[in-house]
Every structure is written in C-alpha cells, then in structure tokens.
Amino acid sequence: MVGEGSNPASPFPRAWLASAFALKGDRDLATNELAEAHRLGGSMGYNSVNRMRTGYWGTPAIRALYEATFFCGLRKAGVPEE
C-alpha cells in the first residue's frame, strides 16, 4: 500500500495509513497496515495510544488535531488506550 518514494522499512507511514483507513471505515485495510506497523516498529510498536502520547506532538492546537484524527483512527484500528 505504501507508495513509491517512501521508506518501506519505516513503521510511520503504516500507522498513518492504519489510522486513515480506520477513520474511513475500512477496518480490514486498517488492521493490515497496523499489523505491518507493529512488525516494522519492533519494541517502538503501536501498543497503546497513551504510550504514543508521551512524545512531542506540537502546540496544543496541533495536539488537538492529532487527538481528533491520528489517535482517534488508531483506536478505531484496534490500538488500545492503555
């Protein structure tokens, strides 16, 4: 699914795709992309939304956008809160 020019060994595009597919309602594609993000991410993985929140996500306004989109989509793709 990841297009040419991207780094196929990076888990980040896979997580973004999982989130986007889940928000769109395509649970199967979201699940597949999330599984690939897990595989590529190793211990960094996408094991919980709370764990991912510990990173820097920008200003409060940008962080709110992440909450409304990226994190929301990851939850719908099956990433647990804890």
pLDDT tens digits, one per residue of 6-26: 677 889 999 999 999 999 999
Question: Is residue 1 in a domain?
Answer: no
Nearest to 1 by CA among 41, 31, 44, 25: 31
Which helix (H) or strand (E) covers residue 3, if one does? none
Considering the entire predicted model, what is its pTM? Answer: 0.84
Contact 69, 23 (CB under 8 A): yes
> How many domains, the chain?
1
Number of other residues whose CB lies within 10 A of the CB of residue 37: 25
Question: Is residue 21 in a domain?
Answer: yes
pLDDT at 4: 47
Question: Is residue 32 in a domain?
Answer: yes
Question: Is residue 38 in a domain?
Answer: yes
Which helix (H) or strand (E) covers residue 71, if one does? none
Structural domain of 21: 11-77
Question: Is residue 82 in a domain?
Answer: no
Question: Is residue 52 in a domain?
Answer: yes
Which residue type is seen at 35? A
Per-residue pLDDT tens over the stretch 51-81: 888 888 899 999 999 999 999 999 999 999 9
Question: Is residue 5 in a domain?
Answer: no
pLDDT at 5: 52
